């Protein structure tokens, strides 16, 4: 992720009219068959997998937050032969890699001590505020028997695997919701960034920095609402005829299907979004998609689709159609209330397409 995105401190701006995804995935619609089993790793084996990226951190998980003494105490407990709390991992069938569900601080500490560097400032990892035998020592400075005790210590992992339905990693959304229930709830796009990491996720990050998009949307959203809107446009543009609610499930499926998209499709998606948003920015300016004060998600998807499908480019023509569209009572009904119902989405897109096609 670029520095521009990381620097945004505004998690709630701009105000969105209508939730990006207000509806929930229904647990009653899908019965999952989940296999959960235990696996024991030595610290040495676990660290090697972590360093290789075979066990990896979801992007939405907080960075390393333990203090130096906290991390040292955890290492000391291992050197004293005390048991290590279990970690939870989610196994991806497509890659056979493991996503960290719970245990990031512990795994990061193990790898950092083994490699000799603190994770948050790259200083030498010397044990602090521990028993005199270990005080001030790095891993390499420990006695040989202590090194062996550390590397041979066993960490129990609970491995979570989705067996059914065989549609990929859909269950992970429910699993993260439940295992990460404390604190701020995870947003769907934050989970997608982890579960469907790959070229498509990288592309969304690049498109999110487009100057026209930033001018219209405003500050980068810390919870990835802006990424989600770009995904929403692409999903409706390329698969809108097959839309079924909930929107969350529709976007999940589209992102999973195109997770490893090739270079040709990357260029096609990028061109579709950047050209469309620039046409709208040139024609309407920074107030685009705001029938009232707030950014309206339904106005966004329908106007974007109208411009994209009609290929209308002339600024005056786009501006005139936009104004007529917003003045249409039938259209207004489709961008307020239950905006994700199939009939409402179909009607909203149809009205927008009719206006823009007539002017093209």
- Check residue 65 and give its pLDDT: 82
- Check residue 176 and give its pLDDT: 66
What percent of the chain has a predicted confidence (pLDDT) above 70? 83
- Check residue 34 and give its pLDDT: 75
Q: Please, which residues bridge with residue 98 across strands?
A: 55, 91
Q: What is the pTM of this model?
A: 0.71
pLDDT greater than 60 at residue 225: yes
pLDDT greater than 50 at residue 27: no
């Amino acid at each position: 992720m670029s520095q521009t995105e990381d620097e945004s401190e505004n998690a709630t701006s701009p105000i969105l009219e209508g939730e990006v995804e207000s509806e929930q995935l229904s647990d009653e619609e899908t019965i999952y068959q989940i296999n959960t089993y235990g696996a024991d790793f030595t610290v040495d084996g676990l660290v090697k997998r972590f360093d290789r990226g075979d066990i990896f951190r979801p992007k939405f998980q907080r960075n390393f937050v333990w203090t130096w003494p906290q991390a040292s105490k955890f290492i000391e407990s291992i050197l004293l032969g005390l048991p290590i709390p279990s970690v939870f991992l989610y196994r991806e069938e497509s890659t056979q890699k493991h996503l960290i569900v719970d245990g990031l601080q512990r795994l990061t500490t193990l790898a950092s001590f083994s490699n000799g560097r603190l994770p948050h400032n790259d200083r030498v990892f010397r044990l602090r505020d521990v028993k005199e035998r270990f005080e001030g020592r790095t891993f390499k400075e420990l006695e040989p028997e202590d090194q062996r005790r550390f590397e041979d210590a066993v960490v129990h992992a609970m491995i979570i695997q989705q067996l059914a339905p065989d549609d990929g990693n859909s269950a992970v959304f429910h699993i993260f919701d439940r295992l990460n229930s404390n604190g701020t709830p995870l947003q769907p796009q934050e989970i997608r960034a982890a579960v469907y990491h790959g070229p498509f996720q990288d592309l969304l990050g690049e498109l999110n920095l487009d100057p026209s998009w930033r001018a219209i949307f405003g500050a980068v959203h810390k919870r990835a609402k802006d990424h989600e809107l770009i995904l929403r446009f692409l999903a409706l543009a390329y698969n809108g005829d097959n839309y079924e609610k909930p929107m969350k499930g529709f976007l999940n499926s589209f992102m999973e299907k195109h997770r490893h998209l090739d270079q040709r499709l990357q260029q096609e998606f990028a061109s579709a979004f950047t050209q469309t948003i620039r046409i709208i920015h040139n024609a309407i300016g920074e107030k685009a998609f705001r029938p009232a004060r707030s950014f309206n998600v339904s106005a966004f998807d329908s106007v974007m689709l109208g411009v994209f499908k009609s290929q209308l480019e002339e600024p005056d023509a786009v501006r005139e159609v936009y104004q007529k569209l917003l003045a249409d009572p039938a259209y207004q009904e489709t961008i307020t209330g239950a905006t994700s119902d199939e009939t409402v989405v179909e009607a909203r897109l149809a009205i927008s397409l009719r206006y823009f096609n007539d002017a093209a």
